[in-house]
Structure 1
Amino acid sequence: MYEDEPVTQDPHPLTRHMQQLTDRARAFDRRRPLVWDALLTGFFVVAAGTDYAGGGWRNVAQNTDLPDWLIVVLTFGMSLPLLWRRRRPVTVLAVIVAFSVVNSGSGALLQIALVELIVLFNIALRLPLRTLGWAGLMMTVPLVVGAVRYPKGSWDQQIVPQVWAYAIVALLGIAVRSRQDYTQALVERARQLEVERDQQARLAAAGERTRIAREMHDIIGHNLSVITGLADGGKYAAAKSPERAAQALDAIGSTSRQALAELRRLLDVLRDEAPEAVELAPQPALADLDRLIEGVRAAGLPVRSTFHGRAESLPQGQELTVYRVVQEALTNTMKHAGAGVTAAVDVDYADDGVRVTVTDSGGASRGVSSGESSGDSSSPGSGRGLKGMRERTALYEGTLEAGPTAGPAAGWRVHLHLPRPAAPHLNQTKESAQ
């Protein structure tokens, strides 16, 4: 068994050098196409003129008694049209073929007639295949005229080799054209992938900004509401019970430090530091609900909490969703409910998922009569809090209901249901054990 040889990614230096020269030549041709056309045309005009001036054409001619003016006309008539071969290839070929017919019929047989192969290559490179077929038929006319006028051997000896040469040049042009189309398709695909990559990056950044904004809203909104409640309670207790006022101040300090710590952990994610330099801490979970409710009670809102069933392990994201929904609901109660209002938190761990119901005894609907909880105390009714709760719930295919309670008391009710996630790996384990 042979080991695979490593694949060299970098091209050979000679190949890279030739590719750079080719790219430069193509770039120059795109900037100044007339210069390259003039150089090519000038080369063949000089070559044809040298052939005429030296009399070399007489070595292959069938008729050496032709006048000089005819040779000059044929020389320039078949070489000068090359200047327009890329702009008018079919017209140029027609002109060259017309002179080539005279060339074959007169017996001059000037070798400059072979420049029609260059024009044929340009037609195969740029024009449809139907045009290429008509060009091939057009180029056989001088061959037939020469074979009829000056028969030399069999027809297949005079015509078939030339036809094969035309076919090879046409196939070469088609191959180069296919390669160019393939390269262009790769470049376009690469450009589309770059656009898609940038769009995905922007979408990811927008989603991350939304997530961070939601977390900051929940952290700041809840803790400020708790601090506000503690400050109001401490103000009233200062005159009658200085000890209660001192307890309120201690609670304010503790809540503020907790909020700052959570904000610092959240903002550390936005820094450009290495991951190991960021202080990590677990997100709030179901185990932190008791501490959350105790903090709300310390702020002055009586909260009754009831838990049904056994809190089995849930995904961290679902536990965070439950925590944030309870936090937002209690925060809205503290913001919008009046004095003497109580709240209740009921958590039910069932087989099909977890259900959470947060209610208050009245007044919480003020400022959010539209059915949207206000996440910003400065703009009641903006609906940011309820919108964030719905977004969190939708991530886990849950349902969220929020609205005023029925009855004479204008209370408020938030009900959350998160289905228990499927565990296919457990079923697979059971099947394999069987």
Structure 2
Amino acid sequence: MTSAQNVKPAAIPDFPMAKEARCPFDPAPGLYTQREEGPLTRVRLWDGSTPWLVTGYAEQRAALADPRVSADINSPGYPLTMPLPFGGTRRSFIGMDDPEHARFRRMVTAPFAVKRVEAMRPAVQKIVDELIDDMLAGPARVDLVEAFALPVPSLVISELLGVPYEDHAFFQENSKTIIQRTSTPEQRQAANMALTDYLDDLVGEKLAAPGDDLLSGLTERVKAEELTRQEAARMGTLLLIAGHETTANMITLGTLALLENPGQMAALRDTGDPKLVASAVEELLRYLNIVHNGRLRAVLEDIEIGGQIIRAGEGLIMPNEIANRDPHMFPNPDDLDITRDARRHMAFGFGVHQCLGQPLARLELQVVYSTLYRRIPTLKLATSLDRIRFKYEGLVYGVHELPVTW
């Protein structure tokens, strides 16, 4: 067992760590280096703080399952990977601990239940098919981000929440500002306020004329005084951003990874087996990484993880991409293999804060990956890999554009 004090300041690397441009699908080389030193090492943030970096799969799961590890941004030692907006930030329920977190989460759980989501499959299939029809009816070269990857989850989450899709340019642009690391705190605050005000207006409309959607369900909580109108708006903002940004980037990044692994692409394109499609989705979620900075936590009491004592008031950073490349859990982890059983990956986290929307994300990806390459079997890049702009500056990783042709 080692002590938290036995760390040489000069040996502490900065975080976040830069990816290698020649290996855009892989974790940053620095994460591999830190893992070689042990499953827990120190890193240095922009403010000079030195939280723990957790690189081991088993150690990440242990930390995320421990009730003494806090997701509350206001907890002492919480590792902020960028400055907060001016005046701080108001927490969403994903930044709360139980029982407060559980109370809010229960209010939006039902629409994301597996059976409820599965019932949406025909509607999602219709959206995907119609967007592909539109692509095939035009020039045989498109930016897959704008023509397909952004519209699919934006249409789905708009329908689920009860948000007018015709406002998609507004909410997509403000979402980008919020999740870009290069945005100033003032820019992120302004974008967040614009989205929250927008959702607040929608909540007001649904208070007067409720529909059959998630926001209308939240207005019933407002009427019952279980939620304030502002809390409902903030929950809607969180779900709107999370519901389209992550899946859109996974569609394009997954497509690019498959194009760079033609054998895997062919196996997925030619299969009629829904089990192999589902397996491919899990493997791509393991192999790639969308949540760029990892999961951030603060320790409330002294704990031991992986033989290391972590003191109360210290922070933890847990990048899921390096845990998903842990050879103790996934043999040959740097290989993309859609036949692999990757279901225990960490893409959606673990424990009570495990991603609420994962059934919907899985459904959308299954429909996309089983349809796009089958319907456009000659799909290929319209540029070279080295000319694609990756979102190195964002909290959500992906590509800015993906020019494809057929």
Give TM-score scaled by structure 2 length.
0.18
Larger Rg: 1
Kindly indicate which of the two structures has a greater share of residues assigned to helix.
1
Give TM-score scaled by structure 1 length.
0.17
Q: Larger relative contact order (C-alpha < 8 A, sep ≥ 6)?
A: 2
